[in-house]
């Protein structure tokens, strides 16, 4: 990292090759914490490497890898030992907590700073929270940042503080009379603990009864409410919306700005259902790229907007997404189906969309977007509206699903399609012979027909937009075979999944 730079392609490729070894090594976890304690300055590389590993550990937790929890436990133990020995200071906990939050991990209780260690204001010093917050906002805006950058800074700044402190802080943010802080309040509702969410909504009530809420905030309240699981947070939002209507506040968008969508690209969902979406837009002569990451079981996992100085810069970002993830251009109708399905998936799994998705919706003009799950049959009808595949004979389905040219073309795109979880790893680890392992993996996949049929159809929709009819036909026919009970061994795409699954599980076992 020091030689090549943390953003260099050489470093990235090297890190991706050795990340598993680093995460499985207790010495790496302990060594990074010890090194941080011995560096008074120039610890940026240590922090960045730790953040990268924490991010990989988060993904490992999501994908059922035992090494992930072990790595995180070892990091916590090392930090506790560093504090106990005096090599780490209480203020260092703020740095570690910030890295956890930046990686999307819950901050461990062991990293929460003792309230007694927080220095009180000097005698006679009167601190106005609003004045302090407004000063921070001015600093962020002076550097070209907006509400999301301000929120990210505030969230990381308080990551090592108690939940009660964070709730009080979020309440203070939500009552500052400024649109930038109202948007930060919405981000806190989407990302905070229940206590933080309650405190933020309470602050918005106070704003509503005082200077009133910004029109954009009022537009987003019903949208956010539709993403929340039933409970007191949803009830609080319901009451806030009702009170806004009783005060004759219009909860509708009157934004006259026109958004032109220039380009949309989408990757094929990988083995765990993660998919990258990028939308290039122009609004009032300004260019931006909106990015969203969806993942099965997590809905809208991440989302953000990248402002661009020129159309060329926007095109370059989209091109990088396309090349990095085998993405292809899709139609707006396909994008809407993918986003609606991701929102519905999030609702089903009580996974609230990433805060930055508000900015994506606003920038793209997608304010009417709502969770909308599609059954497999509905998805098939979207992929095959004329019924060319769905109404075909079993013999025709067999021919299309075995098209060698299409299967060869799909190889690179579907290389990540395999089952990788505790169950499949257990099957491989406990298998007495390759034959017994193979039989059990085939049996396991019998219970995964719907998952893979959906994955095939989602990919078919994307490739149909890309004018790749041969691959579209093979994927759709394979999905129909799964839906109609065709033997798995007569579907080559599933056979490929079996072999890659065994290979991946065996690799982790070694």
Q: At residue 510, does pLDDT exceed 70?
A: no
Q: What is the pLDDT of residue 143?
A: 93
Q: How does pLDDT run across 328-387, given as a tens digit for each residue? A: 999 999 999 999 999 999 999 999 999 999 999 999 999 999 999 899 999 999 999 999
* CB-based contact 465:330 (threshold 8 Å): yes
Q: What is the pLDDT of residue 64?
A: 81
Structure tokens at 160: 């090592």
Reading across the β-sheet that carries 286-295, which strands appear in turn? 299-308, 286-295, 275-283, 259-266, 328-329
Q: What is the pLDDT of residue 509?
A: 46
Question: Could you count the other beta carbons within 10 Å of the beta carbon of residue 116?
Answer: 7
Average pLDDT score over residue span 391-404 = 94
* CB-based contact 458:269 (threshold 8 Å): yes
How confident is the prediction for the chain on average, in pLDDT? 91
Structure tokens at 287: 């260019």
Average pLDDT score over residue span 255-273 = 86
Structure tokens at 472: 């579209």
Q: How does pLDDT run across 225-254, given as a tens digit for each residue? A: 999 998 999 999 999 999 998 886 666 665
Helix (H, G, I), strand (E, B) or coil at 279: strand
Q: How far is CA 326 from the centre of its chain?
A: 18
Q: How does pLDDT run across 149-201, given as a tens digit for each residue? A: 999 999 999 999 999 999 999 999 999 989 999 999 999 999 999 999 999 99
**Quick one: CA dihedral 190, 195, 200, 201, positive or negative?**
positive
Average pLDDT score over residue span 282-288 = 93
Question: Could you count the other beta carbons within 10 Å of the beta carbon of residue 288?
Answer: 23
Q: Is 416 exposed, middle or buried (0-12, 13-18, 19+ CB in 10 A)?
A: middle
Q: What is the pLDDT of residue 147?
A: 96
Q: What is the pLDDT of residue 406?
A: 96
Structure tokens at 510: 């070694």
Q: At residue 270, does pLDDT exceed 90?
A: no
Q: What is the pLDDT of residue 396?
A: 94
Q: At residue 96, does pLDDT exceed 90?
A: yes
Q: How far is CA 48 from the centre of its chain?
A: 20
* CB-based contact 107:54 (threshold 8 Å): no
Min mean pLDDT across 46-50, 113-117, 225-229, 312-316 is at: 113-117
Q: What is the pLDDT of residue 450?
A: 95
Buried b (16+ CB within 10 A) or exposed e, 307-342: ebeeeeebbebbeebbeebebbebeeebbebbbbbb
Q: At residue 15, does pLDDT exceed 90?
A: yes
* CB-based contact 265:330 (threshold 8 Å): yes
* CB-based contact 33:99 (threshold 8 Å): no
Q: Is 430 exposed, middle or buried (0-12, 13-18, 19+ CB in 10 A)?
A: exposed
Residues in the chain, total: 510
CA distance 415 to 56: 20
The domain spans of the chain are: 9-114, 129-246, 259-364, 376-509
Q: What is the pLDDT of residue 118?
A: 59
CA distance 217 to 183: 7
Percent of the chain whose pLDDT exceeds 70? 94
Query: Which pTM does this prediction carry?
Result: 0.89
Q: Is 365 exposed, middle or buried (0-12, 13-18, 19+ CB in 10 A)?
A: middle
* CB-based contact 492:402 (threshold 8 Å): yes
Average pLDDT score over residue span 423-450 = 91
Q: Confidence band (pLDDT; 50, 70, 90) for 307?
A: very high
Nearest to 95 by CA among 82, 15, 200: 82
């Amino acid at each position: 990292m020091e030689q090549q730079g943390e953003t260099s392609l050489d470093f990235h490729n090297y890190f991706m090759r050795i990340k598993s070894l680093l995460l499985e090594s207790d010495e790496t976890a302990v060594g990074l914490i010890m090194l941080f304690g011995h560096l008074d300055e120039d610890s940026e590389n240590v922090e960045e490497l730790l953040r990268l590993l924490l991010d990989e550990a988060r993904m490992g937790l999501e994908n059922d890898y035992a090494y992930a929890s072990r790595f995180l436990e070892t990091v916590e133990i090392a930090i506790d030992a560093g504090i106990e020995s005096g090599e780490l200071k209480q203020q260092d906990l703020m740095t570690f907590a910030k890295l956890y939050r930046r990686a999307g991990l819950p901050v461990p209780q062991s990293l929460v700073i003792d309230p007694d260690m927080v220095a009180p204001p000097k005698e006679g010093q009167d601190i106005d929270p609003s004045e302090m917050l407004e000063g921070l906002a001015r600093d962020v805006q002076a550097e070209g940042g907006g509400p999301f950058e301000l929120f990210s800074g505030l969230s990381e700044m308080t990551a090592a503080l108690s939940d009660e402190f964070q709730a009080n802080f979020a309440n203070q943010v939500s009552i500052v009379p400024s649109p930038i802080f109202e948007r930060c309040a919405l981000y806190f509702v989407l990302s905070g603990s229940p206590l933080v969410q309650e405190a933020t909504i309470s602050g918005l009530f106070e704003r509503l009864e005082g200077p009133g809420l910004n029109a954009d905030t009022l537009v987003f309240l019903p949208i956010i409410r539709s993403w929340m699981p039933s409970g007191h947070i949803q009830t609080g939002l319901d009451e806030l919306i009702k009170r806004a209507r009783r005060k004759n506040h219009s909860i509708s968008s009157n934004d006259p700005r026109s958004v032109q969508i220039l380009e949309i690209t989408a990757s094929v969902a990988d083995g765990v259902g993660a998919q990258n979406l990028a939308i290039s837009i122009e609004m009032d002569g300004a260019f931006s790229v909106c990015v969203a990451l969806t993942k099965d079981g997590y809905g809208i996992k991440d989302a953000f907007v990248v402002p661009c100085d020129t159309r060329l810069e926007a095109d370059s970002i989209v091109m990088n997404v396309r090349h990095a993830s085998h993405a292809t251009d899709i139609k707006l109708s396909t994008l809407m189906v993918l986003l609606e399905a991701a929102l519905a998936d999030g609702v089903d799994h009580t996974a609230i969309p990433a805060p930055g998705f508000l900015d994506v919706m606003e920038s793209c003009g997608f304010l009417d977007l709502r969770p909308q799950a599609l059954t497999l049959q509905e998805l098939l009808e979207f992929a095959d509206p004329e019924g060319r595949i769905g109404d075909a004979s079993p013999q025709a389905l067999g021919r299309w699903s075995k098209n060698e040219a299409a299967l060869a073309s799909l190889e690179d795109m579907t290389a990540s399609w395999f089952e990788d979880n505790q169950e499949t790893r257990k099957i491989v680890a406990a298998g007495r012979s390759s034959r017994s392992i193979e039989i059990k993996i085939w049996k396991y996949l019998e219970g995964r027909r719907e998952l893979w049929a959906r994955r095939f159809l989602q990919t078919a929709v994307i490739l149909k937009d890309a004018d790749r009819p041969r691959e579209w036909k093979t994927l759709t026919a394979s999905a129909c075979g799964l839906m109609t009970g065709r033997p798995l061994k007569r579907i080559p795409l599933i056979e490929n999944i079996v072999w890659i699954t065994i290979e991946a599980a065996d690799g982790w076992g070694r």
